Amino acid sequence: MIAVGLCAHTLAEQWSEVSDAIANAQVGWLVAAFVASAAAMTTLGLLWWRCFAVFGVQVPAGHAVAWYFGGELGKYLPGGVWQVVGRGELARRAGVRRSTGYSTTLISYAAMCVGAAAACGLLAASAARAGSSLGWAWSILLLIPAGLIAVHPAVFGRLLRLGSRLTKGRLDLAPPPWPTMIGLIACSIPAWFFLGAASVAVTASLGFDQHPARVAFAAIAAWILGFLAVPIPAGAGVRELIFVALSGLDSAPGVAVAAIARLLLIIVDALGGVLGLWFSRRLLRPPSSTRSVHDPDRAG
């Protein structure tokens, strides 16, 4: 709430400047930002689908994306766990083992964090060549080696065995080859470029001037750091403050860009969530799987 209050105070102080920019916003750029936001979230849904495939569970891509959007509505609730529960339970009701639905959700989250750091690295290099100073934000790149080490079978296998012990054998996933996990991480990178492009488009719509790579970097870094702020619903306020700190925009314009970009994502989440829940309830059938879906933990 403090972060939200700071954002509101910043906007209020420079409202005349920001309101003029909003009043004269170019609709075409806003439409482009909305499309990029939808593409980003859909690509993350497809990342989960690919995660299923990595662990031998075959489900239609459209089903996984529907579960993804339906479950992600939970991220707007306090606690930081409801999107995991939502996605896992939607998958379970369609025939996927509960342990597999939950574990692949967590693994896909970890993969997307490392993928976000990789996208930030590429954008940071471009921003630095243009003379932008990112300061402490370079530390985000430490997620890359940490993530690559974590998905190595020698490490990942131990984590999965620990999970198996904690779940009394319900989690029985085997660690995939290292190149397979690196490929899974790479699949998330386009989503982050789409998300960064959305903020670049919003910035252009409002007529603010800043290097696109720096704006995109700030948007991705803010999103992922806000995601890691687990107790805060959807990183409310935190993402906006981080975006302002990293984007190079003045405070009020930065908050305006971040707030509009968030609003577009909320609209995407709301539309996708409603459609995903409808699809899950009306059309889904138990998916085929290379693993048995008739498992005791489905009924629990």
Percent of the chain predicted with pLDDT > 70: 81
Question: Is residue 266 a contact partner of residue 288, using CB atoms and an 8 Å limit?
Answer: no
How confident is the model over 159-216, as pLDDT tens digits? 999 988 988 888 888 999 999 999 999 999 999 999 999 999 999 999 888 889 999 9
Say which residue, 278 or 135, is predicted with more confidence. 278
How confident is the model over 33-82, as pLDDT tens digits? 999 999 999 999 999 999 999 999 999 999 999 999 999 888 877 766 88
Whole-model pTM above 0.85? no
Q: What is the pLDDT of residue 285?
A: 52
Q: Which of 67, 42, 7 is nearest to 226 (CA)?
A: 7
pLDDT higher than 50, residue 269: yes
Question: Is residue 116 a contact partner of residue 122, using CB atoms and an 8 Å limit?
Answer: no
Highest average pLDDT, of 131-140, 216-225, 248-257, comes from: 216-225
Question: Is residue 249 a contact partner of residue 210, using CB atoms and an 8 Å limit?
Answer: yes
Average pLDDT over residues 25-31: 91
Question: Is residue 76 a contact partner of residue 234, using CB atoms and an 8 Å limit?
Answer: yes
Residue owning tokens 């995109």 = 216
Helices (H) and strands (E) in the chain, counts: 13, 0
If pLDDT is split at 50, 70 and 90, which confidence band does 295 have? very low
Q: Which of 234, 214, 198, 228 is nearest to 113 (CA)?
A: 228
Q: What is the pLDDT of residue 194?
A: 97
Q: Which of 222, 246, 236, 262 is nearest to 3 (CA)?
A: 236
3-class secondary structure per residue, 121-169: HHHHHHHHHCCCCCHHHHHHHHHHHHHHHHCCHHHHHHHHHHHHHHCCC
Q: How far is CA 251 from the centre of its chain?
A: 24
Percent of the chain predicted with pLDDT > 90: 47
For all residues of the chain together, what is the average pLDDT? 83
Q: How many CB atoms lie under 10 A from the CB of residue 89? A: 18
CA dihedral 47, 48, 53, 56 (to 10 degrees): 150
pLDDT higher than 70, residue 266: yes
Q: What is the pLDDT of residue 229?
A: 65
Q: What is the pLDDT of residue 32?
A: 97
